[in-house]
Amino acid sequence: MTTQAMIESDTFQAAFEALDTQSPLHELRSKGFERFRELGFPTRRDEEWRYTNIKPITTTTFKPASGSITKESITPYTLSDTSCHQMVFVNGRFAAELSDVGTLEAGVRLESIATISESSFDMIAPHLGSCAEIEREVFTALNTAFIEDGLFLLVPRDVDLEKPVHVIFITTLGSAAVVTHPRILIVAEENSRATIIETYGSDGDGVCLTNPVTEIIVGENAIIDHYKIEQESEEAYHISSLNVRQHRSSNVTSHNYSFGGRLVRNNLNCALDDEGCEATFNGLTIGHGRQHVDNYLRIDHNKPNCNSWEYYKTVLDDQSRGVFCGRIYVAPDAQKTDAKQTSMNLLLSEEASITTMPQLDIFADDVKCTHGATIGQIEESQLFYLQSRGIDKVAAKTLLIYAFANETIAEIKIEELRTRLERVLLDRLPRGELLQGGL
Amino acid sequence: MSSTTTSDPIDQWEQTDEYKWGFVTDIESDTLPPGLNEDVVKAISAKKNEPDWLLQWRLEAYRNWLTMTEPNWQNLEYNKIDFQAISYYSAPKSDADRPKSLDEVDPKLLETYEKLGIPLEERAILAGVAVDAVFDSVSVATTFKDKLHEVGIIFCPFSEAVQEHPELVRKYLGSIVPPNDNFFAALNSAVFTDGSFVFIPKGVKCPMELSTYFRINAISTGQFERTLIIAEEGSHVSYLEGCTAPMRDENQLHAAVVELIAMKDATIKYSTIQNWYPGNAEGVGGIYNFVTKRGKCAGDNSRISWTQVETGSAITWKYPSCILQGDNSIGEFYSVALTNHHQKADTGTKMIHIGKNTKSYIISKGISAGVGRNTYRGQVKVLKQATNSRNFTQCDSMLMGDKCSAHTFPYIEVANSSSHIEHEATTSKIGEDQIFYCNQRGISTEDAISMIINGFCKEVFAELPMEFAVEAKKLLEVSLEGSVG
């Protein structure tokens, strides 16, 4: 561990010691903290962090976030109350007054982790930490050390959760740098179905570190639709980790949208642990200013007859930087694997840069694995085509970027979310208002 | 090559007792005892009668090497190399030790030559039969040499170039692969014994493939080879290294360095066929082939093309690279890497786009059979100033059998918005339907597989000089023998 990291972990040490040792979560926290001390923060010498420098994080002293907000501050992020079960967390803590759980199907548990760990800890104990990798990922270890609150969702056998669960994490920002470690645990039992939307936002401007960890355990034949929307302040550091474990014939779709944040790193791990699983990972990154967005995927085909798709798009403007790493691992006996990986990138300015690493790690012979990556800019011929039809250059450019990026948004099944994200996308494009009316 | 008089600098070191491992100059075998220290570096330099600047250069590389650690990021495992157990200088065997005629050569080796269709007179040379016993070959080599000399091309062993063209060597040596570039390049820089030196003067198109000559001439080059090719403005050269015939070799570690420099409008085509001993079917023995190869398109409109067919060695670990500095320069990389039995290969390329309108083209075909492991690792880096640069990469893997593996680790870094980058990769196996189709038409399974593999590698073979393309095809067949069905 470097000296700087030592100092850093000492500030975390103080915060860790301040936690309630009587909590049933404490054993797990201690394990996480121990692992965090062992690993230390990565540097660019570590292969997995080669293109993302987290020095700004390790050189900042973060305080635990606190404070409250009004209903108005969350309106930019909400969907209408009737269309979803809404859970709001302010500075990492559950805010009952802003949430609206509504009516749930029989047997479904949708609670805050703080509540459930006090009332029936046994329910979460076998799952919490079961698929998040504290061994390998230091930020997951750090999150585990500070588990206090977050979302717990249990969808019992044969239940189809009709409305999506929308969980919003808001951090109030100010002069001091603050940190939150949200945790999400989703257990979908056999033949169940659920849709979860995670939205990350900020109230005000300032520096923060948001370090969420999501675990999804997907039972046999279960279907999970997961959305993650990053819309935090452009001074925010955001290091997230999504960990999925799939059982026989289950189906998971993940959508990952990054609009906000100064430095964003999304670790997405998916283990296909039994036959017949399908996993789809879609992503869209829109970067401008000095944003840095890094998506790091790993899909483990551990058993035969599973399919996976990765489809990631990045649009970068100004001095923004993007990183994509998608690794498909196929275990020695995972025959008949069909895996596809696509990374498409659009650079809009002279100063933007992208690094993409579509990797294949294959130990079985009867497989179909492909990957493709493209990096380019707006085609002159397409611009010319639109200009020749009387559309001015800026609008034509906007139209083409929109067409490129919107492909991943158009797939969103929740209509209200789709329109909202289309608007977010258009707001980021020059003269996007031109297209607003026409949608 | 050596003498026993006391004026010999080697003997002087011996007398000063600095070399505590009992340094003895054995005139018979002319081999340094195992071990590496500054005195060994000095001894090699002295044996080669090198000027002082080169000795200092070697020593600096050696000191750098001491501070470096062996890299461990590769997707390969190998037994730790004991660098003190290697002998760093061994002169070619004298004719007396060699087989007197083909009758004395291992019949198995001859059988392989037969399969590869190597001309009879070349077989003898490849098998290491004493040169004077080989009819005609010396005169053939001399004729070529005269022809090259006529147009002003310098093509000679590296040590000869040091003596005769020191100004050229000094100017370019280490300019592409600096002595401290990496662990194995530093080691090579300290202890390299020989290699090839090519200089193509301005405007000259080399009248022949340098391969033909090379194949006859460059047997028994050491395990630390150094190759330097300089193509002056408007010149053109095609160079082939290695050959299809299996090379018996005692040395386990091969750490060569190859540097290419292409000036304005120059073209260098560098082809490699590597078929060193891969170890037996259980993975015992075999060569470690850890090579640093790099070319620089220094001038505008220059072009460097790497073609490699890697079927030998227990472990192949190399990334022939191109630095595309000149505007409109082109870098190409065509590779077929085959791993059978316990062979491992971690190979690929680096294309660094610096100049405007630079283009790079990467075609990599990996074939794994047995428990072989095949890795493509490549980097395409586009710098900010490389406007309108273009890259196309295709890396395909074929798996034969369920114990082998294929890995692809591309790194694409782009910092310029006017660049176009495309990368695609596939992994597949030979379809049973394809085999069935061939069987149905009376083609045996073995032939069908060979046909399919050749089709798979066609784009790369098309880049090889014609006679080698034919041999490379057969080489794949031979290398895959027994792994099918």
Structure tokens that stand for B239 in this block:
């160079």
Show residues of chain A in contact with B402, CB under 8 Å.
332-333, 335, 364-366
A contact test, residue of B75, B339, B400, B412 with most A CBs within 10 A: B412
pLDDT tens per residue across span A404-430: 999 999 989 899 999 999 999 998 887
For A123-143, the pLDDT digits (tens) are 999 999 999 988 889 999 999
The predicted pLDDT at position A330 comes to: 93
pLDDT of amino acid B21: 34
Q: Select the more confidently predicted residue: A390 or B143.
A: A390
| Predicted pLDDT at B113 | 62
Report the pLDDT value the prediction gives residue B243, as an integer from 0 to 100: 58
pLDDT score for B23 = 33
Which of B73, B415, B420 comes nearest A47 by C-beta? B73
Q: Which chain A residues are Cβ-neighbours of B399 within 8 angstroms?
A: 362, 364-365, 367
Least-confidence region, from A12-21, A144-153, A294-303, B89-98: B89-98
Residue with the two structure tokens 């590769």: B74
pLDDT of residue B85: 79
B339 Cβ contact partners less than 8 Å away, ≥ 6 residues apart: B345, B366, B367, B368, B369, B370, B372, B373, B374, B404
Asked if A358 lies within 8 A of B423 by C-beta distance, the reply is yes
3-state secondary structure at position A150? strand
A70 burial type by CB count under 10 A (0-12 exposed, 13-18 middle, 19+ buried): exposed
Structure token digits, residue B172: 């370019």
**What is residue A64's predicted lDDT score, i.e. its pLDDT?**
87
Alpha carbon B175 to its chain centroid, in Å, reads 19
Helices of type H across B156-205: 158-164, 166-172, 183-191
**Residue B4: per-residue pLDDT:** 40
- pLDDT surpassing 90 at residue B210: no
Phi, psi for A268 (deg, rounded to 5): -125, 120
pLDDT score for B3: 39
Residue-wise pLDDT tens digits, A335-368: 999 999 999 999 999 899 999 998 989 998 888 8
ipTM comes to: 0.79
What pLDDT, in 10s, does the model give residues B104-139?
Answer: 666 666 666 666 666 655 665 555 544 333 333 344
Binary contact (B412, A349; C-beta < 8 A): no
Compare CB distances from B410 to A358, A361, A365 and report the shortest one's residue.
A358
pLDDT of residue B213: 39
Structure tokens that stand for A186 in this block:
């989703």
CA distances from A254 to A280, A299, A315 (A): 6, 12, 19
* Interval B319-323 mean pLDDT: 95
Q: What is the pLDDT of residue B115?
A: 64
Confidence band (pLDDT; 50, 70, 90) for B76? confident
pLDDT of residue B484 exceeding 80: no
Contact B402 A366 (CB under 8 A): yes
SS3 category, B379: strand
Tokens 């067919």 appear where? B309
CB contact under 8 A, A361 and B397: no
Q: What is the pLDDT of residues A297-317, one digit of tens each?
A: 999 999 999 999 999 999 999
- Interchain CB contact of A46 with B (< 8 Å): no
Query: What is the nearest CA distance from A293 to chain B, expressed in angstroms?
Result: 14
In this prediction, residues B395-402 reach a mean pLDDT of: 88
**What pLDDT shows up at residue B426?**
86
Expressed in angstroms, the distance from the first to the final Cα of chain B is 52
Q: Which residue is it, tokens 């006529």?
A: B150
CA dihedral A362, A363, A366, A372 (to 10 degrees): 0
Q: What is the token pair recorded at B247?
A: 């090379």
Can you state the angle between helices B445-461 and B432-440, rounded to 10 degrees?
A: 110
Query: B428: which chain A residues are within 8 Å (Cβ-Cβ)?
Result: 367-368
pLDDT in tens, A205-225: 899 999 999 999 999 999 999
User: pLDDT for B236-283, tens place per residue?
Assistant: 999 887 655 555 555 578 888 999 999 999 999 998 888 777 777 777
Residue B105 pLDDT: 61
pLDDT of residue B143: 59
Return the pLDDT at B480: 76
For residue B230, what pLDDT is reported? 95
CA distance, residue B452 to nearest chain A CA (Å): 16
Reply yes or no on whether the pLDDT at B465 is more than 70.
yes
Ranked by mean pLDDT, the top range of A7-21, A288-302, B457-471 is A288-302
Pair of tokens at residue A251 = 């189906």
Classified as helix, coil or strand, A413 is coil
Residue from B415, B403, B414, B451 nearest B431 by CA: B451
Residue A188 token pair:
């979908």
Q: Which residues pair with B291 in a beta bridge?
A: B318
Q: How far is B129 from chain A (nearest CA, A)?
A: 43
Q: Most B CBs within 10 Å: which of A360, A371, A383, as the mutation test of the B interface?
A: A360
Averaged pLDDT, B337-345: 89
pLDDT confidence of residue B370: 86
CB contact under 8 Å between B384 and A350, yes or no, is yes
A159-193 pLDDT tens trace:
999 999 999 999 999 889 999 999 999 999 999 99
How much is the pLDDT for A297? 95
Q: Which of A16, A260, A370, A374 is nearest to B395 (CA)?
A: A370
B206 vs A158, higher pLDDT: A158
Q: What's the whole-number mean pLDDT along residues B137-146?
A: 54
Confidence bin at B5 (pLDDT 50/70/90): very low
pLDDT at B17: 37
At residue A254, the pLDDT reads 96
User: What average pLDDT is seen over chain A?
Assistant: 91
